[in-house]
Amino acid sequence: MTSLTFKSLNERYGRQNCDQLLQDLAVRLVDLLPDYVVGGRIGADTFAFLIVHQPDHRWVSVLANISKGLLGTSLSVKFGVVENVDHHLAVSLTCDHAIMALERIKKAFGVDVVWYNDKLRERQHIENMILESMETALEEHQFTVYYQPKHDLRNDRTGGAEALVRWIHPTLGFISPGDFIPIFERSGFITKLDLYVCEEACKQLKRCEELGLPMVPISFNASQLDFDDEEFAHKIAALTDTYGIERSLLHVEVTETACAENPEHVIDLLTDLREHGFHVELDDFGSGYSSLASLNMLPLDVMKLDMSIIRQASELDDFRIVQSAIQMAQFLNLGTVAEGVETQDEMLKLKELGRGKIQGYYYSRPIMREDFEAYLAKEA
Ligand code: C2E
Ligand code: CA
Ligand code: CA
C-alpha cells in the first residue's frame, strides 16, 4: 500500500495531521480485514500487509475507497495485490512483486488497485531481458533509426523528417518503441538512446549533404529525463559540430508531459537549445492534458498536432478543432505539423486549413535510411 508522496502530504497538512491520517487508515484497514496476519511499513511511504486469502474479491473495491473523506480529496492510496503467494519465495520478493504491480498504476489517475498476475510476471520477465541487454544493444548497434518524411503542403515537397528508433533484438526479435521506450524511461537509459538517435540523425544529415540530396531538417525525440541534464544542449551542439551540421537542420521534439513537472526549468533548457540554434517542436499537442498555456509559455518553433486529433476529426468529419489549433499556432508564429495523416481526404482537408506540414502513412511510413535517401533523391 502506498499513498502518493507522503512527504508532500506532510508538507501540506503538517506531520501531526498526517500521523493521524495513518492511524485512521490503519483503523479502517483493521475493520475491513479483521483476519490480516501482519502488516507494517516497508519503505518511505509504502506499507505491506500479509492477509489470509479471501476468496471473495469484494473487499478490493472497498480497499479502493479506503481513503475517502480523509484529509481532503487529494489523497490517493494505491494497492498492489499478490494472490496465491508462492511460499517458497522470500517475503521480500513477494513485496517486490506487489510494488512492481503498483509501479504500473502510480501515475494512473483513478486506478487504485492492481493485481500482480501471470501477465505481469511475463512482462516483468521481458522487461528484465530488455534491461539486461540494452547496453550491449547500444554497443552492437542493434538500434536502427528510421526516418518518416514530413510533407510540406506549401510547395508539395518533403519539408523534414522525424528520426524514430527501431530495435531488432537477437532473441526477442522486433520490439516496438512503444514497448521499450517506457522501460528505458524508467531505468534512465533513455538519455543514452536519445543521444544515440541524435547522433545518427547528424550522420544522416551529413550523408544527405554528401549525396547532394535536398537538405531537410531532421527531428529527434527528447525525453523528460534529458531535461535533467544541464549539458543537454551543449552535448547535441558538440555532435552537430563533430559532423559539421548546420544547427537549424536539427530539430528537437519535446512533449508537454515532459514539460509539466518543472516548467521554469524546461523553459530555460528550451531557451538554451534555441540559443544554440536548434529548433524545438512540441510533440503530441492535443493528446492527454494539453494546455493552451504551454503553447504560449514555452519557447517553441513548431507545434505538432497529435494524431488522435486528426483521427477524431476524420471520424466526425469535423475539422474545426484542427482548424482552431492550426490558427492558434499560426497566431503564435509557430510552424505546424499534423501527425498521423493516413488518407487523401485528411490531406486535402489539411491543405485547405493552412498549408503547414503533414506527417503520416499517406505520404510514407517511417523508412530505413536507404529508402529515405531514395525518397529524397526523387525530389533532387
Ligand atoms: P511519436 O514521437 O509521436 O512518433 C510518431 C509515431 O506515430 C511513430 O510510431 C510513427 O510510426 C507513428 N505514425 C506515423 N504516422 C502514422 C500514421 O499515419 N498512422 C499511425 N497509426 N501511426 C503513425 P513509433 O515509431 O512506433 O514510435 C512510437 C513512439 O515511440 C514515438 O511517438 C515516440 O514517443 C517514441 N520514440 C520513438 N523513437 C524514439 C526515440 O528515439 N527517443 C524517444 N525518447 N522516444 C522515441
Ligand atoms: Ca515525436
Ligand atoms: Ca507525436
pLDDT, averaged in runs of 10, over the chain (380 residues) = 64 85 84 73 83 77 77 76 85 88 82 87 88 96 97 96 96 92 94 98 98 98 94 97 97 86 87 97 86 85 96 95 94 96 96 92 98 95
Predicted pLDDT at 70: 77
Instruction: State if residue 148 touches ligand 1 by the CB under 6 angstroms criterion.
Output: yes
Predicted pLDDT at 289: 67
Instruction: State if residue 178 touches ligand 1 by the CB under 6 angstroms criterion.
Output: yes
Nearest residue (CA) to ligand 1, atom 35: 177
Nearest residue (CA) to ligand 1, atom 23: 340
3-state secondary structure of 158: strand
Which ligand does the CA of 223 lie closest to?
1
Instruction: State if residue 174 touches ligand 1 by the CB under 6 angstroms criterion.
Output: no
Predicted pLDDT at 3: 45
Measured from the Cα of 222, ligand 1's closest atom is 44
The torsion region of residue 360 among left (phi > 0), alpha (psi -120 to 50) and beta comes to: left
Predicted pLDDT at 2: 47
Predicted pLDDT at 42: 84
Instruction: State if residue 197 touches ligand 1 by the CB under 6 angstroms criterion.
Output: yes
Supply the pTM of this predicted model: 0.83
**Where are the strands (E) in 268-325, listed by range?**
279-285, 302-305
Which ligand does the CA of 305 lie closest to?
3
Which ligand does the CA of 197 lie closest to?
1
Predicted pLDDT at 316: 95
**How close is the Cα of 69 to the center of ligand 2, in Å?**
41
